[in-house]
Amino acid sequence: MTGLIAVGSAVLRVIGMNPQRVTTSSETRAPGKATFGGMDYQLTGVGEQTTTIEAETFPHVVGGLDALEWLTRHHEAADEVNLIRLGSNYLGLMEARVVIRTLEVDEDRIHPFTGVGRRVGCTVELLHV
């Protein structure tokens, strides 16, 4: 069970809550003003940076709801946590300190005995702080 991404205490693993897609986004602010010689741009720095992670699990087969619960707790407490991309042989890349801005959870085909979906997916938007 190799961990791929850690968001605070939530570890997204190959077997468990498995990340399917990671999207990063950032902007650089450069307001412009027309001059006689063309456009004049002033670089004012980098704007907000976000990382969006889409993950899914099949909880009746491989678990993964523990990672979802950690994501929920960090989100509700507005915790500032580490975003770490994990690799082989305990190698990891500390990407940023983040806050979970949005957390979306969707469940497919609710199981009749447990009331939990047979497939649980989540989308987490992380704001770099």
pLDDT higher than 80, residue 15? yes
pLDDT higher than 80, residue 116? no
- Mean pLDDT (the chain) is 89
pLDDT higher than 90, residue 112? no
> Quick count: other Cβ atoms within 10 Å of Cβ 32?
10
| In the chain, domain spans | 3-26+42-128
- Mean pLDDT for 40-48 is 89
Question: Is the Cβ–Cβ distance between 124 and 102 less than 8 Å?
Answer: yes
pLDDT higher than 80, residue 59? yes
Work out whether the CA dihedral 12, 14, 18, 19 comes out positive or negative.
positive
| Burial track 76-108 (b if 16+ CB lie within 10 A, e otherwise) | eeeeebebbbbeeeeeeeebbebebeebeeeee
pLDDT digits (tens, 9 = 90+) for 70-101: 999 999 999 999 999 987 676 788 999 999 99
pLDDT higher than 80, residue 3? yes
Percent of the chain with pLDDT over 70: 97
Token digits for 110?
Answer: 């609710």
pLDDT higher than 60, residue 8? yes
- Mean pLDDT for 102-121 is 84
pTM of the model: 0.84
> Quick count: other Cβ atoms within 10 Å of Cβ 11?
19
